[in-house]
Amino acid sequence: MSEVKVGIIGATGYGGLELIRFLHNHSEVESIELFTSSDAGAIFSSKFGHLVAIQDQPLQEIEIDKLSKFDVVFTSTPSGVTSSLLPPLVGVGPKLIDLSGDYRLKDIRSYEKWYKKTAAPEHIVSESVYGLTEWNAQRIKESNLIANPGCYPTAVLLSILPLIKDRLIDSQNLIIDAKSGVSGAGNKPSQLTHFSEMNENFSIYKINEHQHIPEIEQAIEMFADVQTTISFNTHLVPMTRGILATTYAPILSGVTNKQLNDCLIESYKNHPFVRVVQDVSSLGTNRVKGSNYCDIFVKLDDRTNRATIVGVIDNLVKGAAGQAIQNMNVQFNLPETLGLDVIPLFI
Amino acid sequence: MSEVKVGIIGATGYGGLELIRFLHNHSEVESIELFTSSDAGAIFSSKFGHLVAIQDQPLQEIEIDKLSKFDVVFTSTPSGVTSSLLPPLVGVGPKLIDLSGDYRLKDIRSYEKWYKKTAAPEHIVSESVYGLTEWNAQRIKESNLIANPGCYPTAVLLSILPLIKDRLIDSQNLIIDAKSGVSGAGNKPSQLTHFSEMNENFSIYKINEHQHIPEIEQAIEMFADVQTTISFNTHLVPMTRGILATTYAPILSGVTNKQLNDCLIESYKNHPFVRVVQDVSSLGTNRVKGSNYCDIFVKLDDRTNRATIVGVIDNLVKGAAGQAIQNMNVQFNLPETLGLDVIPLFI
Amino acid sequence: MSEVKVGIIGATGYGGLELIRFLHNHSEVESIELFTSSDAGAIFSSKFGHLVAIQDQPLQEIEIDKLSKFDVVFTSTPSGVTSSLLPPLVGVGPKLIDLSGDYRLKDIRSYEKWYKKTAAPEHIVSESVYGLTEWNAQRIKESNLIANPGCYPTAVLLSILPLIKDRLIDSQNLIIDAKSGVSGAGNKPSQLTHFSEMNENFSIYKINEHQHIPEIEQAIEMFADVQTTISFNTHLVPMTRGILATTYAPILSGVTNKQLNDCLIESYKNHPFVRVVQDVSSLGTNRVKGSNYCDIFVKLDDRTNRATIVGVIDNLVKGAAGQAIQNMNVQFNLPETLGLDVIPLFI
Amino acid sequence: MSEVKVGIIGATGYGGLELIRFLHNHSEVESIELFTSSDAGAIFSSKFGHLVAIQDQPLQEIEIDKLSKFDVVFTSTPSGVTSSLLPPLVGVGPKLIDLSGDYRLKDIRSYEKWYKKTAAPEHIVSESVYGLTEWNAQRIKESNLIANPGCYPTAVLLSILPLIKDRLIDSQNLIIDAKSGVSGAGNKPSQLTHFSEMNENFSIYKINEHQHIPEIEQAIEMFADVQTTISFNTHLVPMTRGILATTYAPILSGVTNKQLNDCLIESYKNHPFVRVVQDVSSLGTNRVKGSNYCDIFVKLDDRTNRATIVGVIDNLVKGAAGQAIQNMNVQFNLPETLGLDVIPLFI
């Protein structure tokens, strides 16, 4: 008995397309309507040939009245849009799940510094709940405004939070080296993402300056109760989907490889989308491609007494649309895996 | 109420992995068991990390007794295996769906010439039904042995058969130029498919000699009732999934572009997986990626009076596992789209 | 003793970058200066990091006076630019080698129809010489205005011209199916060439309408003395460099596979950049990557009495900058291979 | 006046192919002969189609007598081969440049631990000179046995050595996160490097266990006179060529971003192949593709007081064949850039 009516703002972006892809197979979703800031009236499938005969409805203009009637509204827009778009919708009806960065940072001065944009109203930001599902389900269930986590923070936090919380690694010396497929840069063409210049080219970008840095630091404080300053860099991989984040952290005195692994296993034993990988010589993003899984791995390097911690996700799924739907499931008291129980593509 | 018990032989190949991926979300499948000619006893997910916590059963040895109890057995093996493996299973219980080329060619001398292997017993080959679902559903429904079509023939035949059958194009002068992603070459490493040598390298292979030539010619005769000899070549594209086949055919006198398009539209109006694409300046394999769709297109070149006909599929889905499950659905009187109603990935 | 002074207009495009790459190692080139229609004054290497410490000169504004002093000026601009840019430079000093399509089509109405742009002045177009080096060296040597061939025509013409000229294949039924890496689309970002949408996506584009069609037909008439109307389509391969063109042509009565091969071998025995490939089961674009070679192949399909003819080039080298330099060498009575004698990268 | 006679053992590997590619344009090389442990007698271009008409000589069997007559012998073989192959050639004539790992580690117990193979004779290892050209030219000039550096160590060491030597960063807390294109894994097919499984898959491998760890530590001691234990991990990027290594190091008290950059600039001011990159928001491997350049970059993160240090190379050129030829140039008192002065491909 499907009964959730869904509105999607920003349907033409990659996050929006993935929401549509997964909600299509969600047994409790009754209807999906699509909204856009431009191009209202256009038939959606005329813009995206893969959706012909599947999603042939017209794009609608964004109007508060229309949006108020939905059970849930997902916003999948560039940063700097929902800061002004969402406030009129707060409290008027639908649950709101924002996939952008506009409601993640509690400190609005930090938002303005890292995003170089005007922040959302502080009292609304303060109400929003950070949607890292495995770590915040209780508050997500009770909230009407979810700040869905960034792609990099999801891969990083799920892999390191248990180890920090259990005081197995030194949270004051975290070096996080993250790598992402190009879809994370969105659907807008640019010189950087022009095929001939991105293909066969691995690059580092936004060196020391990625806006996900304060998000990760805030979440570490929120969930593991320690303040820290991280080293964090991001790289673009010439592939479309996938994030792999490698974290280096000194272990605290006497901690063993088994303790590190046991901690991860114990932390996620009731969380179907987080899988602790063991006994492998290599692991890659194809383990989770197209799925909502986050695979994590830890190994103690006993030469250096540092732990090597790895998290892999599909940036568009667990790092965006998948986790957003997982949060919707939690908000509506549905099984967390509903609509998301698909096998990774692997190839 | 799930009730189909499934056995898969050749589960470790790419066709087998795709069967597992789609059957996982098939509401009428009760169980899946996996068989292999080597490595029996190994936990399946120990070989394929993406299946950890999803498919952790051991691989079983191939034994006729065990296999007899299934409702359906899929065989997804290299050519030359099921020719001897399947005969003992014919008629003893399960419906059989063979994804290899061993039961496709009715003329076993032709099989032996093109495949350079010993053919299956002629009386069994003659019983098998060619599983091009949209064109053969009635016979598929009644058959216990389906020869699932090859990947190239699926893309080619679905796009050209209506035009040949309705006598709009000259079937005696078909030039078919096909291009495939590398997954069509299977999971066995080779110099040709070694990443460094396949990447950034578009190549033509098996020039004039691909074993799908007689399969296409046989199907044209079977479904459109004309004998013909085709020009057919195959190319490898440095990508994993997808086939695009471009066919050039002279139109018969006076035929218009509208007639060509109307023919395709009319032919497939009741077939949800075949979509007739119109009014585009370009079309690519990402329209169907990861899905069971076959998108087809025709355009009359009035300079040459030849039609340019294009068919695109995901070679592993509509060109293999997806169509096999579609055939299973037909055999079990289930809706054709069951388990296969997923949106293409696009990116 | 280097003595050729070179000017390049359109240095920031991919053709321009390849000119710079090869001219850097050309022993007879004394100097290279770079011109642009925008961004004059900018240090070239500030736009292209790979040229730091190699090409640090400023881009110069396009001025006829300055350009007049060069021995040769290459123009590597989008179509529709040199039609008006070059006329003032004709006859005033430098030899001109135009890499765009503006001077290729002798029939300026045909240019305007296919390119949808205003043609260059007819009397100048009529003076220009088509720079298909292996077929037109004598006229190239005597000309001051070279229309450098398009990328697709180069791969197609070099592979089929000998067979047409020697009347071994039926020139009235040529089906040419061509595939190109994405660099052929130039350096300007677009949705089509956005990494996430081009990657893992093989597509057909400009169906039946590519502007290289009249160029190929004109060259067949020019060099093989027959008028014909070809079927020609183009596809984009998710890789950066390389073109492979597959041509299907009926053989004329009684022609053998040996005759086809002998014809190619004989035609190019004195042409170092065209290699006739024999006895292979597959051939790909990595044979010529980064080099000025054009590898060609022919095989008679005796089931259909059609020849399968294949030509492969690096579209940016033999299909653009490399052939342009080869033409410069001819114009200056230098060895054809000067500056171009490099081994293909292969990987 | 060319006068260096070259022998190459292991010509069929990617390192060997790159040696052939560059030596082809080396003005002082008189001849190149190719040797192999298998397949002697085969025409080289019959194995590598891109070399038809360029390198058509037969492969020769490895015989000490024949090899003795060369001026220089390059060995480009998997590890564990030259440990026994080279000793008979030491001192009998040719200068030896070994591209494998067999002569790099002075501590043969360390070699046997990390490589899990029998080490070369200790007295010969002790004679060998580590061929990091920019740091060891004097000893390279005087040596007849060069241990050419590994690909990862080259990118790492060139970027961090000046900062360690000048005591600007804390050498005791180096975290090095390296990423490589797949060609680094060599030309032998495997499941890991099978196109369908490597494509669109970014992975970490040999976690904490890469054999280049002791090589980097040894070189830091050798050239910067400090002992240290590094954290070092390696990742495979779905592309063919290129290494980017990101190093995180705490700065020593009071060091500024300018000091870090000045140190690099000063260190390499007379070294044409090392370019210090400044003022960029991103940098990638296409800056150096196909060339012998190593581009390096440093930026102080003043939030963490750690320096982010980046080195990029083409792993097959500066990380293998290019540096080997650079070392040959030094040994023969030729200009360092001879045969190597090519512009990166960029695309």
Catalytic-labelled residue, pool C6, C29, C129, C151? C151
All residues of chain A having their beta carbon less than 8 Å from the beta carbon of residue B54 are 343
Degrees (nearest 5) of the Cα angle A302, A299, A235?
A: 115
Which among D296, D287, D231, D236 has a CA at the least distance from the CA of D265?
D296
pLDDT at residue B171 greater than cutoff 90: yes
As given in the structure block, the two tokens for residue D55 are: 């390198």
B77 — contact with chain C (CB < 8 Å)?
no
pLDDT at residue C340 greater than cutoff 90: yes
Task: Quote the CA–CA distance of A133 and A123 in Å, as a whole number.
Answer: 23
What was the pLDDT predicted at B135?
A: 98
ipTM, 2 decimals?
0.98
As given in the structure block, the two tokens for residue A224 are: 């593991």
All residues of chain D having their beta carbon less than 8 Å from the beta carbon of residue B202 are none
Q: Is the pTM of this model over 0.90?
A: yes
What is the spatial order of strands in the sheet that B306-313 belongs to? B274-276, B294-301, B306-313, B243-250, B175-180, B231-236, B203-205, C282-284
Per run of 10 residues, the mean pLDDT along chain A (length 347 residues) is 90 97 98 92 96 97 95 97 97 96 98 98 98 98 98 98 98 98 97 97 98 98 98 98 98 97 98 95 96 98 98 98 98 98 98
Query: Is A233's CB within 8 Å of D308's CB?
Result: yes
Instruction: Scan for tokens 């409290």, then name that residue.
Output: A91
- C263 catalytic residue (yes or no): no
Q: How far is D225 from chain B (nearest CA, A)?
A: 38
What was the pLDDT predicted at D327?
A: 98
All residues of chain A having their beta carbon less than 8 Å from the beta carbon of residue D197 are 286, 346-347
3-state DSSP: chain B helix, strand, coil percent, rounded to 5?
A: 35, 25, 40
All residues of chain B having their beta carbon less than 8 Å from the beta carbon of residue C308 are 207-208, 231, 233
What was the pLDDT predicted at B209?
A: 97
What was the pLDDT predicted at C37?
A: 86
Spans of all domains in chain D: 4-127, 152-315
As given in the structure block, the two tokens for residue C93 are: 């000093």
Q: What is the pLDDT of residues D291-313, one digit of tens each?
A: 999 999 999 999 999 999 999 99
Residue of C nearest to A238 (CA): C195
**Is there a common fold for C4-127 and C152-315?**
no
Mean pLDDT within D11-23: 97
Reported CATH class of domain A4-127: alpha beta
pLDDT at residue B50 greater than cutoff 80: yes
Residue C119's pLDDT band (cuts 50, 70, 90): very high
**B residues 279-318 lying closer than 8 A (beta carbon) to C:** 281-286, 289, 297, 299, 301, 303-304, 306, 308, 310
Looking at this protein, which amino acid is placed at residue B272? P
Report which DSSP code applies to B342.
-
Query: Is A204's CB within 8 Å of D244's CB?
Result: yes
Cβ contacts of A339 within 8 Å, gap of 6 or more: A22, A23, A25, A26, A27, A28, A29, A325, A329
Task: Quote the CA–CA distance of A322 and A337 in Å, as a whole number.
Answer: 10
Fold of domain B152-315: Dihydrodipicolinate Reductase; domain 2 (3.30.360)
Query: Is D200's CB within 8 Å of B14's CB?
Result: no
pLDDT at residue B2 greater than cutoff 80: no
Q: How many CB atoms lie within 10 A of CB D339?
A: 22
Q: What is the CATH number of domain A152-314?
A: 3.30.360.10
Q: What is the pLDDT of residues B96-119, one digit of tens each?
A: 999 999 999 999 999 999 999 999
A23 contacts A48 by C-beta, under 8 angstroms: no
A28 contacts A334 by C-beta, under 8 angstroms: yes
Q: How far is D294 from chain A (nearest CA, A)?
A: 14
C171 contacts C255 by C-beta, under 8 angstroms: no
- Is the Cα torsion angle A119, A122, A125, A126 positive or negative in sign? positive
B72 contacts B123 by C-beta, under 8 angstroms: no
Query: Is D187's CB within 8 Å of B199's CB?
Result: no
Task: Quote the CA–CA distance of A101 and A99 in Å, as a whole number.
Answer: 7
Which among D235, D210, D8, D223 has a CA at the least distance from the CA of D99?
D8
pLDDT at residue C163 greater than cutoff 90: yes
**C residues 125-154 lying closer than 8 A (beta carbon) to B:** none
The partner residue sitting opposite C183, judged by closest CB among A189, A191, A196, is A196
Looking at this protein, which amino acid is placed at residue D212? H
Task: Quote the CA–CA distance of A232 and A208 in Å, as a whole number.
Answer: 6
Cβ contacts of B150 within 8 Å, gap of 6 or more: B101, B104, B212, B215, B319
B347 — contact with chain A (CB < 8 Å)?
yes
- Is the Cα torsion angle A234, A237, A243, A248 positive or negative in sign? negative
Mean pLDDT within D99-105: 98
Query: Is A347's CB within 8 Å of B240's CB?
Result: yes
Residue of D nearest to B47 (CA): D191
Query: Is B199's CB within 8 Å of D193's CB?
Result: no
Write down the mean pLDDT value for chain D.
97
DSSP-assigned letters across all residues of D152-179: HHHHHHHHHHHHHHTT-B-GGG-EEEEE
Query: Is D195's CB within 8 Å of B238's CB?
Result: yes
Q: What is the pLDDT of residues B268-312, one digit of tens each?
A: 999 999 999 998 989 999 999 999 999 999 999 999 999 999 999
All residues of chain A having their beta carbon less than 8 Å from the beta carbon of residue D282 are 192, 203-207, 236
- Is the Cα torsion angle C227, C233, C236, C239 positive or negative in sign? negative
What was the pLDDT predicted at C281?
A: 84
**Pairs across A and B, CB distance < 8 A:** 85
Report which DSSP code applies to C73.
E
What's the N-to-C CA distance of chain D in angstroms?
34
**Pairs across C and D, CB distance < 8 A:** 89
**C residues 234-253 lying closer than 8 A (beta carbon) to A:** 238-240
Furthest CA-CA distance within chain C: 63
Task: Quote the CA–CA distance of B104 and C287 in Å, as a whole number.
Answer: 36
As given in the structure block, the two tokens for residue A104 are: 């993640």
Question: Please, which chains are in contact with D (at least 3 CB pairs closer than 8 A)?
Answer: A, B, C
What is the spatial order of strands in the sheet that A60-61 belongs to? A60-61, A29-36, A4-9, A72-75, A95-98, A145-147, A129-130
Mean pLDDT within C269-296: 96
B203 contacts C284 by C-beta, under 8 angstroms: yes
Question: Please, which chains are in contact with A (at least 3 CB pairs closer than 8 A)?
Answer: B, C, D
pLDDT at residue C38 greater than cutoff 90: no
Q: What is the pLDDT of residues D203-214, one digit of tens each?
A: 999 999 999 999
What percentage of chain C reaches a pLDDT higher than 90? 97
3 state SS of D251: strand
Query: Is A195's CB within 8 Å of C193's CB?
Result: yes
Q: How many CB atoms lie within 10 A of CB D142?
A: 10
As given in the structure block, the two tokens for residue D53 are: 């008409």
Cα separations in angstroms, A342 against A100, A289, B33, B323, D151: 25, 10, 18, 19, 39
Mean pLDDT within C314-330: 98
Instruction: Identify any residues that bridge with A233 across adjacent strands, giving them in sequence order.
Output: A177
Q: How far is C240 from chain D (nearest CA, A)?
A: 7
Query: Is C194's CB within 8 Å of A193's CB?
Result: yes
Catalytic-labelled residue, pool D151, D156, D255, D274? D151
Query: Is B343's CB within 8 Å of A24's CB?
Result: yes
C346 — contact with chain D (CB < 8 Å)?
yes
What was the pLDDT predicted at A1?
A: 54
What was the pLDDT predicted at D1?
A: 53
What was the pLDDT predicted at B1?
A: 54
Furthest CA-CA distance within chain D: 63
Tell me phi and psi for residue D297, to 5 degrees.
-155, 145
**Pairs across A and D, CB distance < 8 A:** 164
Write down the mean pLDDT value for chain C.
97
Task: Quote the CA–CA distance of C210 and C232 in Å, as a whole number.
Answer: 8
